[in-house]
Structure 1
Amino acid sequence: MLTVLPAFMLGHWVTVEPYLGAGAYGPKFGPPVTVRCFLDEETRTVRAPSGQEVTSSSTVYARPGLVCPAESRVTLPDGRVTRAIARLDRSGGGMPTPDHVEVHLL
């Protein structure tokens, strides 16, 4: 049985523009998608996919299926635009804990 984050925990909305890669004139992004989530605005040190330690200003917790690779552009509820550092799939592995996606933001 799939257990996901319950709706009552998803009190925020962010807009995600998935990173598609580098283009001739800079980074390319996919169409914006508005996502219901829980936004935790705590500053912490996280490890980027490159292995480098960086400071994350916020973390988004969303239901499984969110497409938000590193370098994606994310607009927060207050209008601030930031980038994704890393996207992590969090699975309970069959235990009764909610499966979710965790996205660390710059």
Structure 2
Amino acid sequence: MTRVPAVLLRHRVTIEPNLGDGAYGPAYGPPATVRALVADRPQMIRTPDSRTIQATATVIAGPEIECPVGSRVTLPDGRATTALTVARHAAPGLPVPACTEVMCQ
């Protein structure tokens, strides 16, 4: 399986994985900075709980990132967003790269 070429991952984002709810609200894991490609554009999406909502950014990163829905994602411009949907793309045997797509609010 091939990966997204590193030359395409021009940005750096920080991901704090969602660990669930704690006594004081959402709990997040330790931050990890990863290389990614960020597209800042509004897009209507459907969340896993069937709500239609507007995403403000799309983050494309390598297939190994840990970013469950609800994770805090800090974009290159410093804006903190929330991961609305996470899709892992892979096509074993085909000449297309594997990646993870995160839609952020």
Query: Where on the TM-score scale, by shorter chain, does this alignment land: which range?
Result: over 0.9
**Hey, which of these two has a bigger chunk of strand by percent?**
2
Q: 2: distance between equivalents of 1:70 and 1:31?
A: 16
TM-score by length of 1: 0.96
Unpaired segments ≥5 residues, structure 2: none
Q: CA deviation at 1:42?
A: 1.3
Root mean square deviation of aligned Cα: 0.7
Q: Where do residues 66-105 of structure 1 align in structure 2 (5 Å cutoff)?
A: 66-105=65-104
Q: In structure 2, give the amino acid aligned to 1:73.
A: R
Q: CA deviation at 1:94?
A: 1.9
The number of aligned residues is 105
Is 2:45 aligned against 1:35? no
Aligned to 1:21: 20
Q: CA deviation at 1:93?
A: 3.3
Aligned to 1:64: 63
Q: In structure 2, give the amino acid aligned to 1:69.
A: P
Q: In structure 1, give the amino acid aligned to 2:98.
A: D
Q: In structure 1, give the amino acid aligned to 2:38.
A: L
Q: Secondary structure at the match of 2:7?
A: helix
Q: 2: distance between equivalents of 1:60 and 1:84?
A: 9
Unpaired segments ≥5 residues, structure 1: none
**Range with greater deviation from structure 2 (90-99 or 19-28):** 90-99
